Amino acid sequence: MPRPLMNIKETLRSTSPCRVFVGLSGGVDSAVSAALLKDAGYNVTGVFIKVWQPDFLPCSWRDERRDAMKVSIALNIPFLFFDFEEEYKRGVVDEMIAEYKAGRTPNPDVLCNREIKFGAFWKKARELGADYIATGHYSCVLPSPPLGNFTEGRARYVLKEGNDKEKDQSYFLWTLNQDDLAHTLFPIGHLEKSLVRKLARRYHLPVSEKKDSQGICFIGDVSMNEFLSHFISTKPGNVLNTKGEIIGNHKGALLYTIGERHGFEIIKKQSEDGAFYVLSKDIKTNTVTVSNKEPEIISLSPTKITIKNINLINELATSSLSARIRYRGEKIPIIIKHQTSDTVTVEFKEPVRGLSLGQSIVFYDNEVCLGGGVMDKILH
């Protein structure tokens, strides 16, 4: 079979048959990643990662492992099984539940990437002799472009958006650092999803027609509210308008995200009223404040916030700095007003709707992901 890419070895950053452990989830993206790497001359080992799953959901990991094993057999590569149940429960699930209890809205996929895929997975792979790990993320790791003749002390790599903008996952990868990028490969980051499907068929992979997974990272197709209801005690409360008047009810203030427009009931509503959006929530009083008036929503939206848990892949010194405050959200022009080793103060050029504390804000210079942090406090 002809190589799908003319310069795949250069694209994947290797000139020798390095040993690569590929995280095989049982899906098509990771399967094609393994196939491309093997076709490019790498010494590839497939790895299925088992994580914690709650008792109230169907046990799906055995089916996913079976599909991952079928891929390994089809590619004639070794197959390993890593059990990171304890690491996932402690570093992802417990952390996520604690954040929701505090009234914030965390990103479980960000936690999962940091703790499991690029944490525990790499640690175990390195112990077993791997030079690299690889995943099916739609993002690209590239060498930093030289700056004149002087490169000493500069970051060696940049994290770039995936070429398929509908699938780009750089938003979830902001916690990676230069050490992570040095031993990480994203074989399909430069491809469109449609081509990945075609390659899966060309390689005769048994998962070529399998649907993409949805839901919480690794756990599966379950809504966040349903998941949290098993760990957090909530009670119904009042939905308020901006005047403090009761206009509806909700299932529990902890469960709502700023900007959300579903999951609560508006009782006092006119037929011509548009959608109501969550503007704020008060955990102590168990109330949610909403509005359906555009001028009101904009006037109450923040223009300045502080960021914590900062991780910078590359410096923020750029005149074209922008940020995303949600996955697949539009990039918003920003100005860095203050920066220390612990926090960053960000000013938006216009009020930002739907900004939810606890969520990730990710910085970009055009298509390059510079890093990010967690939105901590709104400044007035």
Which residues are marked as active site? 112, 217
3-state DSSP of the chain: CCCCCCCHHHHCCCCCCCEEEEECCCCHHHHHHHHHHHHCCCEEEEEEEECCCCCCCCCCHHHHHHHHHHHHHHHCCCEEEEECHHHHHHHHHHHHHHHHHCCCCCCHHHHHHHHHHHHHHHHHHHHCCCCEEECCCCEEEEECCCCCCCCCCCCCEEEEECCCCCCCCHHHHCCCCHHHHHCEECCCCCCCHHHHHHHHHHCCCCCCCCCCCCCECCCECCCHHHHHCCCCCCCCEEEECCCCCEEEEECCHHHCCCCCCCCCEECCCCCCCCCCEEEEEECCCCEEEEECCHHHHHHCCCCEEEEEEEEECCCCCCCCEEEECCCCCCCEEEEEEEECCCCEEEEECCCCCCCCCCCEEEEEECCEEEEEEEEEEECC
Q: Which of 224, 13, 18 is nearest to 108 (CA)?
A: 224
Residue 276 and residue 64: Cα distance in Å, rounded?
39
Contacts of 164 (CB under 8 A, 6+ apart): 138, 191, 192, 193
Residue 92 and residue 113: Cα distance in Å, rounded?
9
Q: How many Å from the N-terminal Cα to the C-terminal Cα in the chain? A: 61
Pair 205, 71: CB distance under 8 Å: yes
Q: In what order do the strands lie in the sheet with 43-50?
A: 79-83, 43-50, 19-23, 132-134, 184-185
